[in-house]
Amino acid sequence: MEKSVFRSKIEPQHVDFTSRVSISSMCDIILYVAGLDAHNRGFGIDTLAGKNFGWVLSRMCVELDYIPKEYDEFTIHTWISDYNRLSSTRNFTLTDDNGQIFARAVSQWCMLDFDTRMPVDMNTLAQVHDGTIVDSPSPCERPRRLGAVSGEPIAEHKVVYSDIDFNRHMNTMRYIDIILDTMPIDELEKLQTLRMDMNFMKESLYGDNLQLRGELVDNKRVYEFSKGDAGALCRFSFEFNNIEK
Amino acid sequence: MEKSVFRSKIEPQHVDFTSRVSISSMCDIILYVAGLDAHNRGFGIDTLAGKNFGWVLSRMCVELDYIPKEYDEFTIHTWISDYNRLSSTRNFTLTDDNGQIFARAVSQWCMLDFDTRMPVDMNTLAQVHDGTIVDSPSPCERPRRLGAVSGEPIAEHKVVYSDIDFNRHMNTMRYIDIILDTMPIDELEKLQTLRMDMNFMKESLYGDNLQLRGELVDNKRVYEFSKGDAGALCRFSFEFNNIEK
- For chain B, the farthest-separated pair of C-alpha atoms sits apart, in whole angstroms, at 53
Q: Which of B199, B177, B198, B184 is nearest to B243 (CA)?
A: B184
DSSP code, position A231: -
Residue B91 in contact with residue B81, Cβ under 8 Å?
Answer: yes
Contacts of B70 (CB under 8 A, 6+ apart): A166, B10, B11, B12, B14, B15, B19, B20, B21
CATH (residue range A145-245): 3.10.129.10
pLDDT at residue number A14: 94
pLDDT at residue number A243: 40
Check pLDDT > 50 for residue B244. no
Asked if A1-143 and A145-245 have one fold, the answer is yes
Which of A32, A177, A188 has the CB atom closest to B13's CB atom? A32
Residue B138 in contact with residue B87, Cβ under 8 Å?
Answer: no
Domain ranges of chain B: 1-143, 144-245
Work out the angle between the directed axes of helices A172-180 and A23-40 (0-180°, nearest 10).
170
- Is A17's CB within 8 Å of B161's CB? yes
pLDDT digits (tens, 9 = 90+) for B36-72: 898 888 765 555 656 778 888 999 999 999 999 999 9
pLDDT digits (tens, 9 = 90+) for A106-142: 999 998 887 887 888 877 766 777 778 999 999 999 9
Nearest CA in chain A to B180: A161
Q: Which of A18, A44, A67 is nearest to A194 (CA)?
A: A67
Architecture of the structural domain at B144-245: Roll (3.10)
The ipTM value here is 0.90
Check pLDDT > 90 for residue B121. no
Pairwise CA distance, residues A151 & A153, whole Å: 7
Question: Domain spanning A1-143: which CATH class is it, in words?
Answer: alpha beta
Average pLDDT of the segment spanning B97-101: 97
* Cβ of residue A114 closer than 8 Å to a chain B Cβ: no
Distance of CA B117 to the CA centre of its chain: 20
pTM: 0.92
Which residues does chain A have within 8 Å of residue B27's beta carbon, measured at their own beta carbons? none
Percentage with pLDDT > 90 across chain A: 72
Pairwise CA distance, residues B191 & B108, whole Å: 26
The Cα of B162 is separated from the nearest Cα of chain A by a number of Å equal to 6
Residue B86 in contact with residue B10, Cβ under 8 Å?
Answer: no
- Is A32's CB within 8 Å of B24's CB? no
Check pLDDT > 90 for residue A241. no
Between residues B170 and B50, which one has the greater pLDDT? Answer: B170
Contacts of B130 (CB under 8 A, 6+ apart): none
CA distances from B19 to B24, B109, B189, B242 (A): 14, 32, 10, 19
- Is B166's CB within 8 Å of A17's CB? yes
- Is B181's CB within 8 Å of A160's CB? yes
Which of B17, B161, B185 has the CB atom closest to A185's CB atom? B161
Pairwise CA distance, residues A165 & A161, whole Å: 9
Minimum mean pLDDT range among A77-81, A191-195, B31-35, B111-115: B111-115
Work out the angle between the directed axes of helices B23-40 and B172-180 (0-180°, nearest 10).
170
pLDDT digits (tens, 9 = 90+) for B186-216: 999 999 999 999 999 999 999 999 999 999 9
- Is A32's CB within 8 Å of B12's CB? yes
Contacts of A208 (CB under 8 A, 6+ apart): A158, A159, A170, A227
